[in-house]
Structure 1
Amino acid sequence: MRLRALLETDALGLRLLGGEDELDRTVRGVMTTDLRDPSRYLSGGELVLTGLAWRRDASDSEPFVRILAGAGVAGLAAGEAELGDIPADLVEACVQHRLPLFAVNETVAFATITEHVVRQVSGERAGDLAAVVDRHRRLMTSGPAGGGPEVVLDLLTSDLDLRAWVLSPTGRQIAGAGAPLPAPLGAALAGHHLAATRTGRRGPYRAAVAGSTYSLFPIRNAGRGAVPAARDVRESVLSDWLLAVEADASDWPAARLDLLQGVTQLIAVERDRRDAARTVRRRLAQEVLELVQAGAAPAEIAARLRVAAPVLLPGLGVAPQWQVVVARVDWTAAGTAGGAGVPGDIAGGPVAQALLEEILVDPAVSGPDSADRIAVAHTGEEAIALVPLPAVPAPLPETVDGPTDNAAAPDTAEAPAAQDPALHADALLASVREPLSAGLADDGRLTLGVSAAVHSAEGLRGALEEARHARRVAAARPGRVCAAGHHELASHVLLLPFVPDDVRRAFTARLLDPLRDYDRRHRAELIETLEAFLDCDGSWTRCAARLHLHVNTLRYRVGRIEQLTGRDLSRLEDKLDFFLALRMS
């Protein structure tokens, strides 16, 4: 807006005292001050409001005006409430420095002028930003030359003073302006968004996290916050992106909400481009999976992997190791709002495929294409990911005579150990459990199985079966999001989940119920003693030290356990039975 527009607004009660030739200056903001030197708070283009409390005598006016002019302010408005008529020395100083000067009638509050300027400037900025968003959308729709969502997010920050981030359903930052969002905060916001989406409410959703308020906008192409009536929200809730804005949009005018909706539609174009780029990787994974399941010759599978490796690991060539990850999303018949409520209506394979593609993106790297090297196929209700792993550099061989390079400095620091690039089920689970549990609500489950790394095509079939077995182990556990790794298949952990419930209950009741009953009556802590005794491999001294008991007291408790159960804790078979009963209870 221009200074001339302020002068022509009767409600503001402004009277021009000097600078008529400068009334076409643009006003970019407003500031109220009575500091003698407010330069540190000025960025240029402001209308400065002052009550003249800084003026002690006539000599103060020229330095004050010189500071304002040097900072590039648009104009000065002085209130008449304190001194009555504006001092002539201030008028002369403004004429000298070509700074427009207004007198503010004592009946007009500075707050009235401030509110008017802010409203006008914000409206103009929103209009300019809307035009930029529309132009940027056309660029991105026609090709990849638009620069990505970061350009528009930067504009939201610079023109509307809104900090915003694009997040995945697990809370990973895909794009953002300024400082990156902390990972725990991103996960919390994603969880709020998923939970609100499952209720069927219209966005944006309000979330208060870590003392700040955020507005969460779904990124879809179906209108503001709406879910198409013909589609079950559960088909996409675990794969939709969101726009998190650090502001409370509940009192925003419709024009600003429409502007943010335009931003989400623009980002949806980027999302579509990302999905299109994954088509090749999906096809490669499907071809390899079909060969592995059909029992094709290792040479044929290896040839297909040689084709896939340059796409999945650009510049690396053939991947020396591969891992397989299997995922499954199951919905019960008890659908929540916005869902059809019939599991047969939702194809679990594509849902798990889109989710697995997101989960396996490296969470330490932001961006829509970051570390997007995995290839995911789906068969039936399962999604299967083929994950190439870069080689870990082998340590240099040591020789009897020392380093082979005689020129090496003797005090060179020892190289750090190479980081294991393999996926681990527990780390995978920790990164996604909190937000995805909110999206799964009370009617969905995600189970994951992770294989060991294999070094050749011959090992892929075994890796696939290993990942499937691990997923079934995870499925036998309680919880909305569960994962198991290959290391759990070489112990009793593999067997226990498949023991029928009635057998499990009967076995544990026969061994442990007498001890529990005795503990309830006498507070003898026999169950705790039994667990510690087995954990200490039957060592009397170590167990007594752990429980802070005298060895004789421990012997008395173990004797009571044997008496109540009819077992002998010196026998391996009885120790094993107690161990399994405790694990199954």
Structure 2
Amino acid sequence: MRLRALLETDALGLRLLGGEEELDRTVRGVMTTDLRDPSRYLSGGELVLTGLAWRRDAEDSEPFVRILASAGVVGLAAGEAELGAIPGDLVEACVRHRLPLFAVSEAVAFATITEHVVRQVSGERAGDLAAVVDRHRRLMTSGPTGGGPEVVLDLLTSDLDLRAWVLSPTGRQIAGAGDPLPPAVGPVLAGEHLAASRTGRRAPHRAAVHGTTYSLFPIRSGGRAAVAASRDVRESVLSDWLLAVEADAGDWPAARLDLLQGVTQLIAVERDRRDAARTVRRRLAQEVLELVQTGAAPAEIAARLRVAAPVLLPGLGSAPHWQVVVARVDWLEGGPGGAGGPVGSAAAIQAGPVAQTLLEEILVDPAVAGSDSSDRIAVAHAGDEAIALVPLPAVAPDGDGAGESDEAGEGAAPPAARAGLHADVLLEAVREPLSGGLADDGRLTLGVSAAVHSAEGLRGALEEARHARRVAAARPGRVCAAGHHELASHVLLLPFVPDDVRRAFTARLLDPLRDYDRRHRAELIPTLEAFLDCDGSWTRCAARLHLHVNTLRYRVGRIEQLTGRDLSRLEDKLDFFLALRMS
């Protein structure tokens, strides 16, 4: 707004004392002060209101006005309550520094002027920003992204002093302006948003975390938003993004709420664009999954994996290892629908696509901020299950050693550990926020396989992940996960455990020993069999193998080192015994 508009507002009762030629200056804010030097609190563009308490004599006016002019203040309004008429020395100083001066009637409170200026400036900024948002939306729908959601979030900060972040359902930051949210805040806000969405309360939702208030706005993709009113809320609640604004929107005018709604629609356009980019990865995962489930030849599966690897791991020089993650979302029959929506039937909800979208988000590293850090995740769905094929870069093992002479203590180190997904880590990252969206009638269960290095192992990995998910489903809680390491040996004795799972367990336990024997001729497998046959007796086992007891102890130590097991424990002895019998 301009100074002239203030003078023309009768309710403010301002009288111009000087500076008529400067009335077209733009007012960007207002500040009330009686400090002799308020420069540290000025940033330029303010209308300064003062009660003149700083003025003790005529000599004080010149330095005060000079400070204001140097700081870029656009006008000065002096109250008449303290001294009555405005002193002539102040009028003269303002004329010299070309600073417009207004007299404020004793009957008008400074708060009235402040409220008027703030309301007008905020409204005009919001109008300008709304036009920018509309232009940005047109750019994003008709051509390049124009910079993505970060651009409009920057505008919210610079024009409306609103800090805002785009968050995923798990609380991961997707976009933001300025400093990121503290790590623990995002999941809390996501959980609050999901819980409020399940109740059908009208957005924006309000949440307070560590003494700071946030307003939460849902971001629904175009396809889901078009049918949100007629579908069960559970079809979208676990996959919607949200816009978290550091402010309380409870008393916002309708124009500002409409502006934020426009921002969410703009970000939804960008999300739809990114969802479309996942099509290739999803199709690759679906093709591999169908080959694995139909029992295709390993050579055919391997060929398909060679096609998938460059897409998921561009620039990779060698074939990766793979892990399989299975997720399922289950709802109770007759659960609540949503505000204005029908009471849902679990059978009517398309659980597979919901789990697919959710699993794609779960598998993104929560420590990685950004819009599309899921470009190495391929998720398909079969029925109500979502199945992820996750590539892991292969780590070359250490060089070969010199055979049995390694037993003297100079043998090659075990193969380097390969980074992979762990069920407990995934669970810790998503349990708190997603529990709010699942409420009292939903469950999410996850199963994670061990890493496999070839097409032959994929079927076993799939069955292993599925069986781990069934183990997780047997536990209490809204969000549960289990990994391959939890498929203990006594579980493998149960008749319903698939043969592929048994074989995968055996390979995972014994393959490190077989690989070591092949490279070093160390005979660890025969040593293990003899040690178990002798009930762990060092003397009898050493005599059977014609070895010194110290050599036997070295071999057993290497077995424990390679497998991470302890042969003094009954449980680990049992695992090795069963693995050897099934191999």
Secondary structure of the residue aligned to 1:118 is helix
2:451 is aligned with 1:448: no
CA drift of 1:350 comes to 0.9
1:34-63, Cα deviation, whole Å (9 max, x unpaired): 111111111110001111111122222111
Alpha-carbon contact 1:322-1:389 (below 8 Å) kept = yes
Q: Which whole-Å CA distance do the structure 1 matches of 2:333 and 2:325 have between them?
A: 27
Correspondence list, 1:398-547, <5 A = 421-492=419-490
Q: Which residue of the partner structure matches residue 229 of structure 2?
A: 229
Following TM superposition, by how much is the alpha carbon of 1:170 offset from its aligned partner in structure 2, in angstroms? 0.6
Aligned twin of 1:367: 370
How far residue 208 of structure 1 moved from its aligned partner, in angstroms, is: 2.2
* Cα distance in 1 between the residues matched to 2:210 and 2:53: 40
| Contact 1:218 1:225 survives alignment (8 Å) | no
> Structure 1, residues 299-324: CA drift from partner, whole Å, max 9, x if none?
22222112111211222255421100
Instruction: Indicate the residue corresponding to 1:294 in structure 2.
Output: 294
Report the Cα offset of residue 397 of structure 1: 9.7
% of aligned pairs identical?
Answer: 86
Assess, with a 3 A threshold, how the Cα gap between structure 1 residues 418 and 137 changes in structure 2: closer, same or farther.
farther
Structure 1's unaligned 5+ residue stretches are 400-416, 500-571, 577-585
2:222–2:272 CA contact under 8 A, matched in 1: no
Distance 1:450 1:224 in 2: 29
Is 1:158 the counterpart of 2:161? The answer is: no
The 2-side partners of 1:394 and 1:130 are apart by 58
The verdict on how the C-alpha distance between 1:24 and 1:319 changes in structure 2, with shifts beyond 3 A counting, is farther
Output one character per residue of 1:213-264: Cα deviation in whole Å (capped at 9) or x when no partner: 2211111268999973321111111111111112221221111111111011
Counterparts of 1:299 and 1:85, CA distance in 2: 96
Alpha-carbon contact 2:234-2:337 (below 8 Å) kept: no
* Residues 393 and 365 of structure 1: CA distance in aligned 2, closer, same or farther (over 3 Å): farther
Are 1:67 and 2:67 counterparts?
yes
Give the alignment's TM-score, normalised by structure 2.
Answer: 0.79
User: What does residue range 2-401 of structure 1 map to in structure 2 within 5 Å?
Assistant: 2-220=2-220, 228-338=228-338, 340-392=343-395
Distance 2:152 2:73 in 1: 28
Counterpart Cα distance in 2 of 1:324 and 1:262: 39
Stretch of structure 1 that moved more, 88-97 or 296-305:
296-305
Say which is worse superposed, 265-274 or 249-258, in terms of deviation: 249-258
Q: Which runs of 5+ in 2 are unaligned?
A: 403-414, 498-569, 575-583
Residue 71 (structure 1) shift: 0.9
Compared CA separation, residues 77 and 179, structure 1 to 2 (3 A): same
SS for the counterpart of 2:175 is strand
> Residues 495-542 of structure 1, C-alpha deviation per residue, up to 9 Å, x if partnerless?
79999xxxxxxxxxxxxxxxxxxxxxxxxxxxxxxxxxxxxxxxxxxx
2:510 alignment counterpart: none
Decide which moves more: 484-493 or 260-269: 484-493
Deviation at 1:134, TM superposition (A): 0.3
- Name the CA distance, whole Å, in 1 between partners of 2:19 and 2:396: 72
Residue 184 of structure 1 and its aligned partner are, at CA, apart by 1.8
Please say if residues 133 and 263 of structure 2, whose CA atoms lie closer than 8 Å, have aligned partners that are also in contact.
Answer: yes
Q: Distance in 2 between matches of 1:337 and 1:197?
A: 11
Q: What letter is aligned with 1:430?
A: E
Equivalents in 1 of 2:72, 2:83: separation in Å?
A: 26
8 A contact 1:310–1:318 mirrored in 2? no
Give, as a single letter, the amino acid of the residue that structure 2 aligns with 1:349.
Answer: G
Residue 32 of structure 1 contacts residue 48 of structure 1 at CA under 8 Å; is this kept in 2?
A: yes
Q: Which amino acid aligns with 1:301?
A: I
Whether contact under 8 Å (1:203, 1:224) holds in the other structure is no
AA aligned to 2:53 is A
How many angstroms does 1:491 deviate by? Answer: 3.6
**What is the total number of aligned residue pairs between the two structures?**
485
CA contact 2:325–2:388 (8 Å) conserved in 1: yes
CA distance in 1, matches of 2:286, 2:337: 34
Compared CA separation, residues 70 and 271, structure 1 to 2 (3 A): same
> For structure 1, which segment, 222-231 or 77-86, has the greater mean C-alpha deviation from structure 2 after superposition?
222-231
Letter of the 1:351 partner, please give it.
V
Question: In the alignment, is the contact (CA less than 8 A) between 2:331 and 2:441 conserved in 1?
Answer: yes
Specify the SS of the correspondent of 1:438. Answer: helix
Answer whether contact 1:473 1:494 (CA < 8 A) is retained: no
Kindly indicate whether the alpha-carbon contact (under 8 Å) linking 1:332 and 1:341 is maintained by their aligned counterparts in 2: no
CA drift at 1:162: 1.2
Which residue does 1:534 correspond to in 2?
Answer: none
Residue 189 of structure 2: SS of its match in structure 1?
helix
What CA deviation, in whole Å up to 9, does each residue of 1:285-312 have, x standing for no partner?
Answer: 0011111112222222222112111211
Aligned to 2:546: none
- Give the TM-score of the pair, scaled to structure 1: 0.79
Going from structure 1 to structure 2, the CA distance change for 1:100 and 1:498 (only over 3 Å counts) comes to: farther
Counterpart CA distance in 1 for 2:475 and 2:59 is: 81
Counterpart contact for 1:450–1:470, Cα < 8 Å: yes
CA distance in 2, matches of 1:434, 1:494: 32
* 8 Å CA contact 2:231, 2:337 repeated in 1: no
CA 1:458–1:233 in 2, change beyond 3 Å: closer, same or farther? same
Q: Which moved more, 1:193-202 or 1:339-348?
A: 339-348
Deviation at 1:131, TM superposition (A): 0.2
- The 3-state SS of whatever aligns with 2:327 is strand
- Displacement of 1:364 in angstroms is 0.8
Per-residue Cα deviation, 1:73-128 (whole angstroms, up to 9, x for no partner): 11111111111111221111111111111111111111111011001000100100
Q: Which whole-Å deviations, capped at 9, do the CAs of 1:411-470 have from their partners, x for residues lacking one? A: xxxxxx998530000000000001111111111111100001111222111111111111
Q: 1:445 and 1:474 mapped to 2: Cα distance? A: 11
Per-residue CA shift, 1:321-378, capped at 9, x if unaligned?
1100001111111402426332210121111111100100111111220243110001
Summarize the Cα distance change of 1:428–1:496 in structure 2 as closer, same or farther, 3 Å threshold: farther
Shift of 1:398: 11
Looking at structure 1, the residues matched to 386 and 288 of structure 2 have their Cα atoms a distance apart, in angstroms, of 13
Q: Which runs of 4+ in 1 moved over 4 A?
A: 221-227, 392-399, 417-420, 493-499
Q: Take 2:33 and 2:96, find their aligned partners in 1: how far apart are those partners?
A: 21
